[in-house]
Amino acid sequence: MMLREIHTAAHTALLDLETGEGMLVRPLSAYDVTDPHPSTRVLIEPAGCFVATAADPTLHGSDLTAMLVLLDSHGWEVSEDEDGGPITNGYTQSGREIWGLYGREPIGSTDLDAMVAASAALLSQARLIR
């Protein structure tokens, strides 16, 4: 496994660069607050340019938008179910939801056994995040 972590203020992404398996740990909704100054622009690093986005009414929503833009810039997307919603892989010990992610261009094995092993290892690690 070639593990990489990406953090925003409220979200943590755990990514296996080799297999393209990933997990996104979401914040607890109980700690979300209405954003008094919602942003309508997101800074994309490392390009340093802004992209217009719809203003989100909560801080966690704004943080999710920033995380998704960052993940996309690194070649990662949220795994979706047949209805287009995010796939929930489980919950942390503290109750935070864990979404599945996939890398568009894994750098190593796409062998099913390797992907299942990486997914299980990532989920175990993600469950420990508080």
User: Model confidence over 68-100: pLDDT tens digits?
Assistant: 999 999 999 999 999 888 999 999 999 999 999
Question: Other C-beta atoms within 10 Å of 60: how many?
Answer: 19
93, 66 contact by CB (below 8 A): no
Total domains present in the chain: 1
Q: Are strands 49-52 and 88-91 parallel, antiparallel or unpaired?
A: unpaired
* CA-based nearest residue to 100, from 120, 130, 83: 120
Structural domain including 53 reads 3-127
Cis status, amide bond into 27, omega within 30 of 0? no
Q: What is the mean pLDDT of the chain?
A: 82
Digit-coded pLDDT (tens) for 42-64: 555 444 444 444 556 788 888 89
Q: Give me the pLDDT at residue 56, please.
A: 61
> Is the model more confident about 37 or about 117?
117
